[in-house]
Amino acid sequence: MKTKELSWLADNPFYTKRFAFYVGRRCRSSTIHDVAQELHLDWKTVKDLEKQYMSEQLRRIGTPGPRVIGIDEVSIRKGHTYRIVVSDLIRLRPIWFGGQDRSEKSMDQFYQWLGSKKSKRIELAVMDMWQPFKNSTVKPGNAPQARILYDKFYVMCHLGDALDTVRKSEYARLTGRSREFIKGQKYTLLSNRENLTLDGRRALKKLLEVNKRLNRAYLLKESFGQLWNYEKEG
């Protein structure tokens, strides 16, 4: 007995490619659950047809040639199981999802997939402060010419940790009433001023008035945060 492959059939032989692509297009504006109910299909069937649709869209687009990329990781299950996501930040779309974890070796797989020629065209790589991402990017043969821009959130987290270290040091150093001003003020110090209540702003103002070391550390953190507001290099 011989079987013949029909080009117009979807990966799921019960449906045509035309129907699979119709389902995929519907999933762009509706949830899988809603599409399954509307078409009287099983949830898993809709998911499989949507995957075929997305695979075809990726095939038609071809390998991208990004100038500015964003690198991040996503957790796919409990137990620190990660995959890497790379996005084209100019066209505002993800272009690669893969690796076995968030290691340097997994990051190398993106540049291998992109190819040496297109990797050399990358001008800027935006990432968190995870060292394996940077190590892979600056590696010869990947994108060593790309400038590295760290995400503001992670930089400010480090500055917040430094400010909290000063707070703990001052609490240990002081005694009496001076110490009372610091007690219970961790949230007040580390929060953005605009997120504080009126009482919180008053407590912050009083704390910074009575403790010069905390005031200096706080001002350094806040002034560094203004770096992302500049629009010109000068």
The length of the chain, given as a count of residues: 234
Taking all residues of the chain, what is their mean pLDDT, rounded to a whole number? Answer: 87
Among candidate residues 56, 68, 73, the one with its CA nearest the CA of residue 21 = 56
Residue type, position 139, single letter? K
Q: Are 113 and 176 found together in one domain?
A: no
Please say if the pLDDT value at position 62 is more than 80: no
Q: How much of the chain, in percent, has pLDDT values that exceed 70?
A: 94
Task: Give the residue-averaged pLDDT of 151-159.
Answer: 87
Q: Are 88 and 135 found together in one domain?
A: yes
pLDDT of residue 6: 54
Instruction: Assess contact for 190 and 182: CB atoms under 8 A.
Output: no
Q: Give 71-92 pLDDT, tens digit per residue.
A: 999 988 777 789 999 999 999 9
Distance from the first to the final alpha carbon of the chain: 75
pLDDT of residue 144: 96
- Tokens encoding 157: 């987290």
Q: Give 118-146 pLDDT, tens digit per residue.
A: 999 999 999 998 999 999 999 999 999 99
**205-229 in b/e burial notation, b at 16+ Cβ within 10 A?**
eebbeebeebeebbeebeeeeeeee
**What span, in angstroms and rounded, lies between the C-alpha atoms of 142 and 120?**
7
DSSP state of 110: H
pLDDT of residue 140: 94
| Domain end marker among 61, 95, 114 | 61
Please say if the pLDDT value at position 4 is more than 60: no
Domain count, the chain: 3
State the residue range of the domain holding 34: 17-61
Instruction: Assess contact for 94 and 85: CB atoms under 8 A.
Output: yes
Q: Are 209 and 190 found together in one domain?
A: yes
- pLDDT band of residue 11 (cuts 50, 70, 90) is low
Q: Are 139 and 198 found together in one domain?
A: no
Please say if the pLDDT value at position 17 is more than 70: yes
pLDDT of residue 86: 95
Inside any domain, residue 125:
yes
Instruction: Assess contact for 64 and 93: CB atoms under 8 A.
Output: no
Among candidate residues 140, 116, 117, 136, the one with its CA nearest the CA of residue 127 = 136
Q: Are 73 and 143 found together in one domain?
A: yes
Q: Give 103-113 pLDDT, tens digit per residue.
A: 999 999 999 99
Among candidate residues 183, 184, 204, the one with its CA nearest the CA of residue 195 = 204
Q: Are 142 and 172 found together in one domain?
A: no
Q: Are 139 and 160 found together in one domain?
A: no
